[in-house]
Structure 1
Amino acid sequence: MSTKTNKKSTARKKAPARQTGPAAQLAARHKKVRAAMRAHQVDALVISNPRDVGYLIGLPGDDSYFIMTSRKAVLLTDSRYEELLAPVTQWAQMALRRGPMAGKLAEVVDGLKCKSVGLQADHLTVSARKAIAKSVGARRCADTTGIMADIRKIKDDSEIRALRKAVSIAQEAVSATLADLRVGQSELDLSARLKYEMEIRGATGPAFGPIVAACANGSKPHYYPSARAKVRAGKPLLIDWGAIYRDYRSDLTRTWSVGTMSRKIREIYQIVLEAQLAAIDAIKPGAKCLAVDAAARSVIAKAGYGETFGHGLGHGIGLDVHEMPSLGPRSGANDTLEAGMVVTVEPGIYLPGVGGVRIEDDVLVTRTGHRVLSSMKKDLESAVLPV
């Protein structure tokens, strides 16, 4: 009997290299999308929302569609983005359009031999939806809603790092802005300075148009800063702002008083702060969104200001400044916080003719409770700015 070893049969097969870093993060996201596709019983899913496209390819998703099947992925874009998006071709196909998006999409779907095609009905305009149905075939098209919002509400480690940096930039920028605050400075001037301070610290822009509300203007929750409205001594100053870092957005609010704080503003500031701390303390995995909102709302109602707190307590943040979940009185009865969610907590009291107080922080839901990502002081003493 021969004693020679059969090298072919005994050679160890190399295990496939384990994906790490960005590649692993994208693969995990794709896996979630494919699971959702199976649940919706579609052969392909057309991602048309630019933020969602970017989330799935790790690069800007402007004017591009991302088409996924159970095994394949195709990025549909045009020549303006061909070089920028070239890294995607290492793991997906790229299709370049020279005409309308719907026509090229039909070619891609035909090539993938898909019988049913899911569309992002919560993003597409009516006209875009009609154009796709006409090109792809109405019978093949199926509307889907909420798939990407549900996936994106849980942040991975890279997203949390980006959000932490966005918070840090925003905090540093507002501190630098307030260091040069002067009585008589306009709201619009403060807004411009704040945006500048965020960008020189690495932000690609403000997360949204900053709300800078001096004096009684703080009673308007979504106020637009004015060149005519000025900072006044002894009056409140409310600023709601955030920074974009690597596409992720922070969202913070603080209310200060310039020089001295009036008795009424002091009263409602203490109530709002107590309400916010109560809500933050209620944040943990498994907590109902309704219950977290109620923790803050009950404090304000008990103090006699319930009717002045008309908006929800908070919302998720990420690639968009408003994401799932929603914390408010209209949250779903079964809406529950999960580890990896990042939410704002922003109760407020608004008194027309007097001003408003809102205090907002960004909070990560951890496996054992929560972590406040923002660290700016908010005690009553720190809320009074020197003149």
Structure 2
Amino acid sequence: MSGERRQRLAPRLAEAGLDALLVWSSPNRRYLSGFTGSSAYLLAGADGRGLLLTDFRYLEQAAAQAPGWTVIRHGRDVWSDLAGQAAAAGWRTVGVEADHVTLAAFRRLEAAGEARGITWRPVSGLVEGLRLVKTPDEVEAVRAAAALARRALEAVWPRLVPGVSEAEVALELECTMRRLGAEAEAFPTIVASGPRGSLPHARPGPRRLEAGDLVTIDFGARLDGYHSDETVTVGIGAAAAAHPLRPVYEVVRRAQAAGIAAIRPGVPASAVDRAARGVIEEAGYGEAFGHSTGHGVGLEVHEAPWAAAQPPVDYVLEPGMILTVEPGIYLPGRGGVRLEDTLVVTETGCERLTTWDKDWRTT
């Protein structure tokens, strides 16, 4: 698989006028080579060749995980080693992932390359463009992560009772995901109860759940490198049936359904945002929905495509693309509601990969 992906990258490099690309990003490195260690550099050539430079700690791992790549041990001066290997391969114009390399690192590369006739050129999106459309195996990896996260929430559900703290809920959910086999949580779990529900990215705190509360839980698992992402908002106990934000919940539910219904091949990702946002604006809550409607999910929990009003690139949806739909309404002093699913674009529409029922539900 890694060799096939490198071969797909090669013509993109040639079209960009590059002899090779220095791959710095960890997700891009894993996507191209399969290597999961924390320290390595890829040099992927437009001629199809590939070098993986790493230190002593990862030589055995790299050889096992990255077949088809020439594994090279770099020394203390990694900048000189990168420039030297590029020069030895005959690669004179080498792209550098501008979105991932610091200015200080780029200057060191320039200094090392100058003596060897290497020109480093900042570029963006060359590998990310390959990652946009997922293979069936990648879709199943995200589905498996989502199924694991759902099992964890089901296990923790009985603990969503008055008296337990947000922090305790988050810890239990994260530990349960790990016990079920997750590598880690996909991101720090969000648990926001009562009036704290107006904080879109609230950190779980000491506040204890109360009868009648609404609680927003944004959670996900990482499994085999791939992430899931899902958000539920639930009521605590029968008293929540009369919660004053119940009508707001229904607005968000309709907005999410409209966004999901907009997903199909040939539609720009921004249309998904417009569909969901229009429902919320029509209900009079437009100012209370201040973030984008969705994002891609894969080796990163936030990646392209972006379902936003003005995304950096407004990608046209294709079968195999994965994105979330997560509208929310946030009312300071009162609380908030967010509902999120992760979906894959199909030939005729989309399919949910996260499966928690988003109809109104209480514990």
- Does the 8 Å contact 1:52/1:61 carry over to 2? no
Aligned to 1:18: none
Aligned AA for 1:168?
Answer: A
Aligned to 1:102: 79
Aligned AA for 2:35?
Answer: L
- Does the 8 Å contact 1:288/1:337 carry over to 2? yes
Give the deviation of 1:377 after TM superposition: 1.3
The one of 145, 148, 159 aligned to 1:166: 145
State the secondary structure of the residue aligned to 2:233: strand
**Cα distance change of structure 1 residues 215 and 291 upon mapping to structure 2, 3 Å threshold:** same
CA deviation map 1:294-313 (0-9, x unaligned): 11111111111111001000
State the secondary structure of the residue aligned to 2:317: coil
CA deviation map 1:320-371 (0-9, x unaligned): 1100000011126852111111101000011111111000000000122110
4+ long deviations beyond 3 Å: none
Q: Is 1:243 aligned to 2:209, yes or no?
A: no
State the secondary structure of the residue aligned to 1:272: helix
Aligned to 2:39: 63
Distance in 2 (alpha carbons) for counterparts of 1:296 and 1:239? 20
Give the deviation of 1:90 after TM superposition: 4.2
Distance in 1 (alpha carbons) for counterparts of 2:81 and 2:8? 26
Aligned AA for 1:93?
Answer: T
Q: Is 1:280 aligned to 2:260, yes or no?
A: yes
The one of 294, 305, 309 aligned to 2:274: 294
The one of 57, 60, 72 aligned to 1:80: 57
- For 1:184-333, list aligned pairs within 5 A: 184-226=163-205, 228-259=206-237, 260-261=239-240, 262-331=242-311
Aligned to 1:141: 120
CA deviation map 1:91-134 (0-9, x unaligned): 22111012122121112111101121111111001111111111
- Does the 8 Å contact 2:134/2:321 carry over to 1? yes
The one of 317, 338, 357 aligned to 2:337: 357
Aligned AA for 1:42?
Answer: L
Larger radius of gyration: 1
Aligned AA for 2:260?
Answer: I
Give the deviation of 1:89 after TM superposition: 6.5
The one of 5, 28, 50 aligned to 1:52: 28
Aligned AA for 1:191?
Answer: A
Distance in 2 (alpha carbons) for counterparts of 1:194 and 1:92? 38
Distance in 2 (alpha carbons) for counterparts of 1:139 and 1:58? 27
State the secondary structure of the residue aligned to 1:143: strand
TM-score (normalizing by structure 1): 0.90
State the secondary structure of the residue aligned to 1:218: helix
- Does the 8 Å contact 2:305/2:314 carry over to 1? no
Aligned AA for 1:211?
Answer: I
- Does the 8 Å contact 2:93/2:121 carry over to 1? yes
The number of residues matched between the two structures is: 358
Aligned to 1:28: 4
Aligned AA for 1:279?
Answer: G
Distance in 1 (alpha carbons) for counterparts of 2:124 and 2:276? 31
Distance in 2 (alpha carbons) for counterparts of 1:218 and 1:88? 43
Give the deviation of 1:264 after TM superposition: 2.4
Give the deviation of 1:205 after TM superposition: 0.7
**Which blocks of at least 5 consecutive residues in structure 1 are unaligned?**
1-24
State the secondary structure of the residue aligned to 1:324: strand
Distance in 2 (alpha carbons) for counterparts of 1:336 and 1:209? 30
Aligned AA for 2:183?
Answer: T
The one of 127, 135, 152 aligned to 2:131: 152
**Which blocks of at least 5 consecutive residues in structure 2 are unaligned?**
none
Q: Is 1:372 aligned to 2:352, yes or no?
A: yes
Q: Which is worse superposed, 321-330 or 366-375?
A: 366-375
Identity of aligned residues (%): 36
CA deviation map 1:161-193 (0-9, x unaligned): 110011001111011111222211111111110
State the secondary structure of the residue aligned to 2:160: coil
**Cα distance change of structure 1 residues 346 and 334 upon mapping to structure 2, 3 Å threshold:** closer
Distance in 2 (alpha carbons) for counterparts of 1:236 and 1:100? 54
Give the deviation of 1:32 after TM superposition: 2.4
CA deviation map 1:46-72 (0-9, x unaligned): 101111111111121421011111131
State the secondary structure of the residue aligned to 2:218: strand
Distance in 1 (alpha carbons) for counterparts of 2:210 and 2:79? 55
Distance in 2 (alpha carbons) for counterparts of 1:333 and 1:111? 36
**Cα distance change of structure 1 residues 282 and 165 upon mapping to structure 2, 3 Å threshold:** same
